[in-house]
Amino acid sequence: MARNIFSSLSAIEGMLTMSVSPESKCNIMVISIECDSEDPDLQEITLTILGLPNDKFSTIDKFERVSPTEWQREFIIDLPDKIDELTFIASSSTSGDLGYLTLTESKFEGIRRSSQAFNCFKCAFEVEAGSPALVLSLQICKVPGNEGEDADNFHSTVMATAAIRDLDTEFAIIGTVDDEDPQKPYYLKAIAELFTERFDQNRNKSDLNNAISAYDRAIHLLPMHDPHFLDTMYGAGIVAIQRFDISGNLSDIDQAISMLEIVVSRTKEDDSNMRRRLNGLGDAFFHRFRRTGNVSDISEAMSHSQKALSITPDGDPNIPNQLNRLGRSYLHYFHHTGDIADLSRAISTLQNAIHHASGDNRNLPDMLNHLGNAYLRRFEETEELLDISEAISSLQKAVHLTSESHPGMATRLNDLGLAYECRFGHTGDLEDLSEAILAQQNAVRLTSEDNQNLPDRLNNLGISYLQRFDRIGDIADIAESLLALQKAVEFAPGDHPNIPGHLNNLGNSYMRRYEHGKDAADLSKAIAAHKKAVDLLHDDHPNKPALLNSLAMSYSWRSHDTGSIDDISEQISITQKAVDLTPEGHVDLPSRLINLAITYLQRSQAAEDVGDIFEAASQYRKAATSIPGNSLQRLKAAKGWAELAQLLDPSNVEEILCAYDIAIQLIPQIASLEHTIRQRHSDLLSVSDLSNKAAAAAFNLGRPEIALSWLEQGRCFVWNQINNLRTPIDDLHNRNPNLADRFIKVSRDLESSSSRSELMNSKAETNKLALKISLQEDANTHIKLARERAQLLSQIRSFPEFENFLRPPTAADILQNLPSAGPVVVINVHEDRCDALALLCGNDTPIHIPLETFTYKQADRLRTELRSLLKSNGVRMRETEDRSLRTYVRGSKKGDVLQNILQELWTCVVKPVLDDLAFSPATSDLPRIWWCATGPLAFLPLHAAGIWGQSSKQIGSSLSEYAVSSYTPTVTALTERIKAIGTNPIPRLTSIPGTRREVDAIQKRLKKDGVPFTCLEESSATVKRVFSDLDVHHCVHLACHAIQDPEEPLRSGFHLYDGRMELSQILKKQLPKADFAFLSACQTSAGDEKLSEEAVHLAAGMLASGYRGVVATMWSIMDSYGPQIAEDFYDNLLGASENKIGITGASAAHALHYASKRMRERQGESEHSLLAWVPYVHFGL
């Protein structure tokens, strides 16, 4: 759409001050013709001008239709210094003559008088005898009077002087113009528009004040029937909204609404301006709602937005903007009603707006910002992880598309900070909190002190500082929090609707400082702030329960310090009211019920009232069964419920089992597939011993089969998830091949996404926000994949015979497909009790073996002693023979620590199991036994248990005389590999050496039997080459350094020539034909002690990648013994091979048993010998 040269500069039609010479003369520069209503028959307009000098006339055609009722044409007409009269005749090729306008000498006198004040102005005249009614507007400008370059370049001169200058002087000159001058109101309207334009450039509030003053005077002078009266009043209303946005003065927004209501009421329904005016009125109501919280205002805003949208024709470019207004109103209406249906309407409306918006739509950042806020609010209601990810993604894009100088930048940064802070509350990721503080600091920096939004932004920044203090305990953060929150309360007007929230947060900050410094004044201030906040809200306000909860917490600290039963009872009363006001299904209901339970327990201890314990158990039960509440809070409640149920009635089997079962079933929601593997491991830290505690309770109640099921469901959770993502689904493929293919595709994509890197590439520093947007979109894709897989699972389970597809195994499921070569022994270690479960092929029930002489403390002590022993011997990375030996000699004087550890394991754990299973020692054809240990016992060498180092050793005093030992992370990991055994693998092996003697021994033995192999040494052993060879070789021997990363277990890995081959990378491989791996490296089976039930180590990672069996090491091995162990191992393994032409892992456990025995025969049973062979362990089949 073409626009006149002035409107293209300032986005308004009005005056533009320029510097011109005294010889300048007046020209008509722009002509506009406007109808009072749309006439579809009126297509082309021609204007003929009579009365020009020398009896000339001028015909002007090619008017451009700039709106349904307006035409415009740029055309220079020289006006003489003196003129008697000019006549303008309007006509149309389709409608004939439309009317005429005569400008007499008196009217030109007004033009000349105006030219003394303005270099450019606009005047409008009604066309006489017009049908339809027309208004002719002329843009009158003074132009240079000299010939040549000045006159020729007048348009470019205008463009070059777009800066608006001397408006204050010109405004003063207008004041001297007689009120009787018919042009004065137009001058005032024009300069008001210029003041508004200048405000948009420099944000100087005085320009808004001048604009409102000019508009008010123009309205006073204009007759109500004047065609420009309503537009003038409309402009005044819009400027009043702008001033309100800065000042927060309710009189401004009230005045804006009054004026805009008059404008809309006097606008005809079919007027082309109706839509614009409805939007202005809707905006005014919206802004007042944000200030007062009056629900009638937001209802009016929605009503006007809906009406404006309804009269907008399909395909109109303003449709996205109309939808944006409506979606924004739905969002804020939800803030009042709490009805999630309003929130869903907001999201769908805003999505529709963005869908229809072009990439260059200047309101696109605003749409993205509103959509991000809508997703954020829905996440707060439902805690659906996809919503918070979508919120951050949308808000990041909004900030990315906004310049720092844009007036909306502070708002968008503030909203982005809120989203990061909200996600931190869900994930605990400090990176999110750092991003929140950074965004909120910038939002505050860009907000002036007189801006009504400053209190809210200070409040948000204060909350983030408070949360960081809670996380890392830096006292500087609590000081920053209090400073920001004090200012938020100070700057907010007394009737501001957010004052209760600001006071509540200030109270929380005082309370945290009291917890840290125990200054009684801080606690008094906290209680006072919380009380005032509660008193400011009616009971039907959706935020009232949260404020009551905070007040109760401040009383909790006072009662904790004073022991006052009255304070505790007051706390119970307040918390109960918070619970009563919280609707069923609200995400915060479980946490409030937990607080109530804790308070009852506190009173029960003070008053010794058992009734309060029963009440606490009841509240825990309600919290645990509150759906769809916060999963982590529900799990905490279930644990509390179970513990109290055991305390109150240890024989109440049903209630105790019910509580623990709910807790176990919630683990998948705590560490769901929507998170990366790294995040899932972090999430599981809070529930690391849950399955052990639940199993101990089941043993107490005589339910070993339930104990087994819970241990399988609650342990190695991430490995089980990975295994499920790779599960063959032949039966499903026969039933529904399309569904099966889609399920496989989504599962593989999800697995790959789960292991994605979350580290920022240093090369992307130049555009950090763009990289963050990209990473967030990756996260969104991951969540969507998890959602789709969950939906596919639900669909699959709806088929007959597929009801239990990939569900957690029951005890009956676990007892199927057990190995026939020997028992699987699951050992549960918990502070309450220790037990073993022996699972035998063909038995329908597990054999329960109580370990009555073994305790959790004992296991923890043995782990600590072993760790100290290894540390004192310098056992970390692989060492040379001499260094290891010298270190040992110095440490041996302290006693035979390892021998004592192995003897204690033999006496208290292993021998009771063997006796119960009626095992007897043998010299050949030993059975197999698989160990699945939990807690601290998972880090101890059960396979080496026995009495060592005694000169008169008795027969049958070590496990190696009874059975060949292996380990398995879970029973399911073992049974799944038994089910997967099919054709024999191609007997090929790849070796990646780290020590020359070891690899030479292996190559010599393989060549002797003609086994094909590939040896990668030095520069050929790159990460890329090793990964490539893993796909084609079914067995692998890794003789190299390895590292276990305790902070980030998935970064544990093998050191190759050009870098580390990490566990996270190995997990991305799918090796369905993988058979056997020998990890001759240090610490390849040493897991993360904080995640003892997850078996986060390299051996488990290789099993999860598809290998049927793995030989690994519990600690670093001595280089002098590694080659010896390897040579004996492969001698036995190749000798046991049935086909005699290759290598398989079927006898790997026996081969390792043989190699360890040979080491003992050579080195004896000293502590030094034990350190050499004990670290070697076998996992899997």
The per-residue pLDDT for range 167-188, each reduced to its tens digit, is 666 676 666 667 787 888 888 8
Mean pLDDT of the region 37-44: 72
* 64-67 vs 834-839, strand pairing mode: unpaired
Residue 152 parent element (H or E) = helix 149-152
- CA dihedral for 659, 662, 667, 669, sign (positive or negative): negative
* Tens-place pLDDT, residues 690-744: 889 999 999 999 999 999 999 988 776 555 555 554 455 667 777 888 887 787 7
Q: Which of 138-147, 336-345, 920-929 has the lowest mean pLDDT?
A: 138-147
The pLDDT value recorded for residue 486 is 96
124 inside domain: yes
Q: How far apart are the C-alpha atoms of 129 and 132, rounded to whole Å? A: 9
Q: Name the nearest CA neighbour of 1075 among 989, 997, 1013.
A: 989
pLDDT band (50, 70, 90) for residue 107: low
More confident residue, 662 or 873: 662
Q: Is residue 1020 located within the same domain as residue 1161?
A: yes
Mean pLDDT of the region 61-66: 75
Q: Is residue 905 located within the same domain as residue 942?
A: yes
pLDDT at 631 over 70: yes
Residue 1079 parent element (H or E) = strand 1076-1079
Give DSSP secondary structure letters for 612-647.
HHHHHHHHHHHHHT-TTS-HHHHHHHHHHHHHHHHH
Amino acid found at 612:
D
The full length of the chain comes to 1181
What's the CATH code of the domain at 578? 1.25.40.10
Contact 233, 262 (CB under 8 A): yes
What's the CATH code of the domain at 61? 2.60.40.150
Q: Is residue 771 located within the same domain as residue 822?
A: no
Contact 330, 342 (CB under 8 A): yes
pLDDT at 848 over 60: yes
* Tens-place pLDDT, residues 948-997: 987 657 888 999 999 999 999 888 878 766 654 433 334 455 655 556 77
Cβ neighbours of residue 1181 under 8 Å, at least 6 residues apart?
819, 966, 974, 977, 978, 981, 1108, 1109, 1145, 1146, 1149
Contact 1125, 1173 (CB under 8 A): yes
Out of 120, 146, 162, a domain closes at 162
Give DSSP secondary structure letters for 547-581.
HHHHHHHHHHHHHHHH--HHHHHHHHHHHHHHHHH
The pLDDT value recorded for residue 1168 is 82
Contact 1029, 1017 (CB under 8 A): no
Q: Is residue 916 located within the same domain as residue 950?
A: yes
pLDDT at 1057 over 70: yes
Contact 1115, 1086 (CB under 8 A): yes
pLDDT at 867 over 50: yes
Q: Is residue 956 located within the same domain as residue 997?
A: no
The pLDDT value recorded for residue 600 is 94
106 inside domain: yes
| SS3 per residue for 701-726 | CCCHHHHHHHHHHHCCHHHHHHHHHC
Q: pTM higher than 0.75, yes or no?
A: no
For 424, half-sphere exposure in the C-beta direction (CA atoms, 13 angstrom radius) is 22
pLDDT band (50, 70, 90) for residue 165: very low
Q: Is residue 792 located within the same domain as residue 817?
A: no
Q: For residue 105, what are its two tokens?
A: 């000498």
Mean pLDDT of the chain: 80
192 inside domain: no
Q: Domain span at residue 1150?
A: 983-1180
The pLDDT value recorded for residue 18 is 31
pLDDT band (50, 70, 90) for residue 577: very high
Backbone angles phi, psi at 838, to 5 degrees: -100, 125
Contact 140, 111 (CB under 8 A): yes
Q: Which of 279-283, 786-790, 1053-1057, 1163-1167 has the lowest mean pLDDT?
A: 786-790
For 552, half-sphere exposure in the C-beta direction (CA atoms, 13 angstrom radius) is 28
Can you give the C-alpha Rg of the chain in angstroms?
A: 40
749 inside domain: yes
Classify burial at 940, counting beta carbons within 10 Å of its beta carbon; exposed 0-12, middle 13-18, buried 19 or more: buried
Most confident of 180-194, 268-282, 333-347, 893-907: 268-282
Q: Is residue 553 located within the same domain as residue 631?
A: yes
Q: Is residue 1162 located within the same domain as residue 1051?
A: yes
**Which 3 state secondary structure label does DSSP give 109?**
helix
Backbone angles phi, psi at 653, to 5 degrees: -60, -50
The pLDDT value recorded for residue 913 is 97
Percent of the chain with pLDDT over 90: 35
What's the CATH code of the domain at 815? 3.30.420
* Tens-place pLDDT, residues 1123-1157: 888 889 998 988 865 555 567 888 999 999 999 99
Q: Enter the DSSP assignment of 798.
A: T
Q: Is residue 1097 located within the same domain as residue 1153?
A: yes
What's the CATH code of the domain at 1095? 3.40.50.1460
905 inside domain: yes
Mean pLDDT of the region 552-563: 86
The pLDDT value recorded for residue 760 is 33
Q: Is residue 1163 located within the same domain as residue 1014?
A: yes
Helix/strand/coil percentages in the chain, nearest 5: 60, 10, 30
The pLDDT value recorded for residue 124 is 65
328 inside domain: no
The pLDDT value recorded for residue 579 is 93
The pLDDT value recorded for residue 657 is 95
pLDDT band (50, 70, 90) for residue 484: very high
More confident residue, 452 or 905: 905
Mean pLDDT of the region 432-457: 93
More confident residue, 125 or 1036: 1036
- How many domains is the chain built from? 5
411 inside domain: no
Q: For residue 812, what are its two tokens?
A: 């009956």
The pLDDT value recorded for residue 29 is 54
1013 inside domain: yes
Q: For residue 718, what are its two tokens?
A: 């991430």
Q: Is residue 950 located within the same domain as residue 1025?
A: no
Q: Is residue 46 located within the same domain as residue 129?
A: yes
More confident residue, 385 or 1159: 1159
pLDDT at 928 over 90: yes
The pLDDT value recorded for residue 762 is 30
Out of 796, 821, 852, a domain closes at 796
pLDDT at 1118 over 90: no
Cβ neighbours of residue 1095 under 8 Å, at least 6 residues apart?
715, 716, 719, 938, 969, 970, 1087
* Tens-place pLDDT, residues 218-263: 999 998 888 889 999 999 999 999 999 888 889 999 999 999 999 9
Out of 162, 178, 200, a domain closes at 162
Q: For residue 233, what are its two tokens?
A: 């009043």
Q: How far apart are the C-alpha atoms of 764 and 771, rounded to whole Å? A: 7
